[in-house]
Amino acid sequence: MSIKIISVAGARPNFMKIAPLMAAFGARSEIEPMLVHTGQHYDEKMSDLFFRQLGIPQPDVNLGIGSGSHAVQTAEIMKAFEQVVLAEKPDVVLVVGDVNSTIACGLVAVKLGIKLVHVEAGLRSGDRAMPEELNRILTDSISDMLFCTEIAGVENLRREGVIDERVFFVGNVMIDTLLKNREKAQASTIMDDLGLAQGSFATMTIHRPSNVDNTETFSRLLDAIEKIQAELPIICPMHPRTRNNLPKLGLQERIEGMKNLRLLEPVGYLDFLKLNANARVCLTDSGGLQEETTVLRVPCITMRENTERPSTCEVGTNQLVGTDPVAILAAWEKVKAGEYDNREIPELWDGRAAERIAEILASAN
């Protein structure tokens, strides 16, 4: 007897996590997979590009929700996804990560009595001001099966009272995607297009509301960025939130004055993987980039006060430095001194996490 699994993707970070899962499910006769795209982040060009590059099958259903406040977006996803679940009657709903789609679809599943699976469970930053942290905590609290990327996640869930039988340490599905596509990314022409040589530039992503919605914090980050870009070109695909905030916060002119800070439109997965794999350092406030750079063995400077991915600091190349320009520049000096090279890769980040998840779900049926 087969098990019908609806997997949910809502935003671009989800696509890299869903891709290996859909491949692993499709390879097993015991699993009937179905993919729902909520459209939480929907840019037709970028979504189509990610799906094509990562080999993700076209969604069986696209809810087309679009942007909105947290409350509006969550409510609209719940209303639309409930109709899908009622019509399809899955055995399992699988959600990944920590976006609004994750908790919205999770709530629908459990209220309809459907088993809920959370992939990338147990991650905690300790900062409840982050919307993602609330989504993680709430999703984990209602999930029937919790798949963890690192040991810290298992320990967090145990501390929160989740019974061991529901928790599985399987590794990191996003690293499955990175390892599968690393060779393919080398064919990208983006470095030639931008006139870049290996190790001669930095990459940067900055989008977290706590960093880019506040003039004082953003300005402090720019104090450090201004000095680093004077020594090394910085390549920065701009998040729409960040780009929209620059004129509102009165920072557009300052950014444009940084001649070595090269602002790009968002780029595809393979192009950005090529850039990060060849960068001297990555500056970020993202979660996933902390993990990817650890596997790529590229130094990462994380401009946040906390991280939900502590293994990247414990064994990886990641330095968690906050938003103080003095600390950011001190981390840059360490990078230049080569102090963050040749680190380890966390346990089970071996490209087989999705296979382990598929095996567990198939055998649990």
Catalytic residue IDs? 207
**Amino acid in the structure at residue 113:** G
DSSP-assigned letters across all residues of 324-353: -HHHHHHHHHHHHTTTT-S----TT-SS-H
Task: Give the three-state DSSP class for 80.
Answer: helix
b/e burial code for range 29-67 (CB count within 10 A of at least 16 → b): eebebbbbbbbbbbeeebbebbbebbebeebebbbebee
Output helix, strand, coil percentages for the chain, rounded to the nearest 5: 50, 15, 35
Q: Decide: 234 and 202 in contact? Cβ < 8 Å.
A: yes
Strand order in the sheet with 261-264: 261-264, 234-237, 202-205, 281-284, 300-302, 318-320
Residue whose tokens read 């470095």: 191
By DSSP bridging, strand 300-302 and strand 92-96 are unpaired
Q: Dihedrals φ, ψ of 207, to 5°? A: -155, -10
> Which helix or strand (DSSP H or E) is residue 243 part of?
helix 240-248
Q: Dihedrals φ, ψ of 116, to 5°? A: -110, 130
How far apart are alpha carbons 190 and 123 in whole angstroms? 33
How far apart are alpha carbons 257 and 252 in whole angstroms? 9
